[in-house]
Amino acid sequence: MNSNEQVSFRDYPIWLWYTGALVLAVAVVTGISAGSVWEFIGLSLIAFLIIGFASIPTVTLDHNLGSLSLHYRSLFRRSTKVFPLTEIYLVNVVEDSERERMYRIELTLHSGEVVPYGPFIL
C-alpha cells in the first residue's frame, strides 16, 4: 500500500430503505382502497422517517494524515468523528447478540473509552 492511499468502508442500509418503500406502498394501497387521507398521510410520514433517518456509515483510514474517520450521513443528520491513529489501542469486531449476522466495530482508545460504530450486516 502506498502511504498516500486511503482505505474506506461504506455500508448502505438497503434493508431500511426497502422497509420504508414497503411502508410507502402500503400507504398508497390504503389511501386508494380505503380512501382515508389520514391513514395515507400517517403511513407516508412513517415511511419518510424510516428512509430519512437510515444512516450510511463510512469508515476511512487515512495513512497520510494518520487518522481514522467515522462518518454517518442521512437525509436528516450528519456526524463525523476523527481519531488520530496514535490514540487507538484496539479495533474489535463485536457480534450483536440480539440479531443474526449483525456486527459492529468497537474502537478502544488508550484512555479506556470504547467507541461503538455500526451495526453492519455480514
Distance CA(84)–CA(49), nearest Å, equals 34
Chain-wide mean pLDDT for the chain? 85
Q: What is the pLDDT of residues 49-81, one digit of tens each?
A: 999 988 888 889 888 888 989 898 998 889 998
Distance CA(25)–CA(47), nearest Å, equals 9
- Greater confidence (96 vs 42) lies with 42
Q: What is the pLDDT of residues 13-23, one digit of tens each?
A: 898 899 999 99
Distance CA(49)–CA(53), nearest Å, equals 6
Task: Give the pLDDT score at 98.
Answer: 66
Cell of 11: 455500508
β-pairing, 88-95 with 67-73?
Answer: unpaired
Q: What is the pLDDT of residues 84-110, one digit of tens each?
A: 989 999 988 888 766 666 777 888 999
**Cα dihedral sign, 98-60-91-83:** negative
Listed in sequence order, the residues at least 6 apart from 119 whose beta carbon sits closer than 8 Å to its beta carbon are 96, 99, 102, 103, 104
